[in-house]
Amino acid sequence: MSITLSTGRRVSAAALGLAVVAAAAVASAAPAVAAPHTSGTGTLSIAAQRLILEPTDQGYVGTLNATVTNNGPTASYYSLSFLEPAGAAEGHVFPEDACVWQGVVGVRTLVNCGSGSGELASGASRAHSVRFHVGTTPRDYPMVVDGSWIGVVPNGDQEPVQSAPFTTLFRSTKGKITKPRPYVQATQTDVSLSANQVRLDRLPDGSLQGRMPLTVRYGNDAPSFGLNVIADLPAGVVVDHIEPQDMPSSWDWFTVPGGRFVPGEARTFDVILTAPAGTPTGELGTGSYTPTSDYVVSLTDVDPADDTTSFTITAG
């Protein structure tokens, strides 16, 4: 199964926690981005603390605190760039502002966000925070990720004038952060679908409708903001809607309700299929569902054989 993001696609609030627009330069084949050159001669400087992620029933959450200082003689606008500690870590910046994806390092994204508060006066400092959510299963031992950073970018520039590296610690379910093991995120998805045959019943107006339960399981912590499903159906049969439904759908695709998955999570929901009046009674053919995942880079699946589920559709 492939994971793709088309150029210029708008990112939902669930993806980064605020209104975000994907940078036009970032596509599924975006180049890796190295850590920025750090200069101590700029008028803007930044300092950051380490990030400690706390275990929850939905993975790990925590807040990175950083301070930007204007050492120059005049007020200055700026933005913030950061490399997230894990793919799809949903960086939510305070004060809030618009963000864009700028590139990737492995499966981790490089994000640039506005400062959210206008000009920074000469000699002044401003506190910022970035709240992260890493959707991996909490462990009974601490973990660590190095190599992340947050930088300050002067208005009109493309690169940080200064950056601050930070270490990310995952607190164990036993409350420990000492002697951490490296956290290694999955880089291949593990998605499986299952469905049974479906019967479409005739309605008073002669058209057909049937309710089809579909189960989707996400087996690991490979990054994803959610799953879409492509429907390949016999002629005349279309997807009417799904229940429950929290995102748009069309005649040949729909979005799995509930947003991003945690590892091992399975969801069952109903797909409502219809066919027009005049459709003959009997077997209409075989349909199938294939998932596609919403992320900024293309990943393969550990077992493509269980990505697609096929089923027979019968008209009553």
Q: Span 191-315: which CATH code?
A: 2.60.40.2310
Average pLDDT, the chain: 88
Band (pLDDT 50/70/90 cuts) for residue 18 is: very low
Structure confidence by residue, pLDDT tens digits, 228-260: 999 999 999 999 999 999 998 999 999 999 999
Instruction: Show me where the domains of the chain are located.
Output: 31-182, 191-315
Structure confidence by residue, pLDDT tens digits, 255-270: 999 999 999 999 999 9
Band (pLDDT 50/70/90 cuts) for residue 223 is: very high
pLDDT at 117: 82
Q: Answer for the pair 86, 108: CB distance below 8 angstroms, yes or no.
A: yes
If phi > 0 it is left, if psi is from -120 to 50 it is alpha, else beta; for residue 258 that is: left
Q: H or E stretch including 60?
A: strand 59-70
Q: CB-based contacts of 59: which residues, under 8 Å, 6+ apart?
A: 133, 134, 135, 136, 137, 138, 221, 262
Structure confidence by residue, pLDDT tens digits, 160-212: 999 999 999 999 999 999 999 999 999 999 999 999 999 999 999 999 999 99
State the virtual CA torsion across 160, 162, 163, 164 in degrees, nearest 10.
-160
Cα–Cα distances in Å, from 117 out to 73, 125, 127, 155?
A: 19, 12, 10, 13
Burial class (CB in 10 A: 0-12, 13-18, 19+), 241: middle
Band (pLDDT 50/70/90 cuts) for residue 298 is: confident
Position 17 pLDDT exceeds 80 = no
CATH 3.40.50.1370 fits 31-182, yes or no: no
Cα–Cα distances in Å, from 149 out to 34, 102, 105, 216, 291?
A: 11, 14, 12, 35, 33
Q: Answer for the pair 291, 191: CB distance below 8 angstroms, yes or no.
A: yes
Q: Answer for the pair 97, 27: CB distance below 8 angstroms, yes or no.
A: no
Beta strand 162-170 with 51-56: parallel, antiparallel or unpaired?
parallel
Position 19 pLDDT exceeds 80 = no
- For residue 38, give both structure tokens: 């750090």
pLDDT at 75: 95
pLDDT at 42: 67
Position 300 pLDDT exceeds 70 = yes
Intrachain domains 31-182 and 191-315 with the same fold: yes
If phi > 0 it is left, if psi is from -120 to 50 it is alpha, else beta; for residue 259 that is: left
Position 55 pLDDT exceeds 90 = yes
